[in-house]
Amino acid sequence: MIKEIIVVEGKDDTVAIKRAVEAETIETGGSAIGEAVLKRVALAQERRGVIIFTDPDHAGERIRKIVAQHAPGCKHAFLPQEEALYKGDIGVENASPEAIRRALANLRTEAAPDTAGLPEVTMEDLMQAGLLVHPQASERRLKMGNLLGIGYANGKQFYKRCSMFRITREEFKRALDQIVESDEERRG
């Protein structure tokens, strides 16, 4: 049984989570999250802790931000898009139980704003890694986000996530080395 309450978007997500693990969920009902739901999430965070597990798409990211703002210190589970895809539809409800368990095993916790300090990973690091202003920047951020367990994001948001989840230079370098090695193998 997972101690924290998992925040998901809808009923189908709850069904998918319960196929994978024993847990309780709070459903946001989509991106128009009501004040009552946000109060329940804040209470859950205070009493048991919360894991935000939304779809790896734009709407899911919007919900993730709203929930995290109302309940600081949440844990985050990220599902790679390819593991949440079924017939063109992206969502937690499409993920296999194994993919859901993997995402829940690799949780990331937000750093409290007052303790975050200076980020270890800088914008310059992102530039040098080809994650910004590079022909394959988007593809590389997708790979890095999956390797780091922080999901896909645009350049600015990727930088914020590195800071928010306290990604160390060492973690960043290990993930980048994997991408470079993979690229070299592909080129033969």
Q: Alpha-carbon Rg of the chain, whole angstroms?
A: 17
pLDDT score for 30: 84
pLDDT score for 182: 86
By percentage, how much of the chain surpasses pLDDT 90? 82
Q: Is the pLDDT of residue 103 over 70?
A: yes
Rounded Cα gap, residues 157 and 98, in angstroms: 27
pLDDT score for 120: 87
pLDDT score for 117: 58
pLDDT score for 118: 63
Which domains are delineated in the chain? 1-110 (3.40.1360.10), 111-188 (no CATH)
Say if pTM beats, i.e. exceeds, 0.85. no
Closest CA to 81 of 164, 146, 176, 138: 146
CA 138 to chain centre: 16
Rounded Cα gap, residues 118 and 36, in angstroms: 35
pLDDT score for 115: 52
Average pLDDT over residues 79-99: 95
Rounded Cα gap, residues 103 and 109, in angstroms: 13
pLDDT score for 128: 95
pLDDT in tens, 48-70: 999 999 999 999 999 999 999 99
3-class SS at 26? strand
Residue 110: pLDDT band with limits 50, 70, 90: confident
pLDDT in tens, 18-52: 999 999 999 999 888 999 999 999 999 999 999 99
Of the two residues 74 and 110, the one the predictor is more confident about is 74
Average pLDDT over residues 169-174: 94
> 81-90, 110-119, 156-165 — which is least confidently predicted?
110-119
Rounded Cα gap, residues 175 and 132, in angstroms: 16
Mean pLDDT of the chain: 92
Q: Is the pLDDT of residue 113 over 70?
A: no
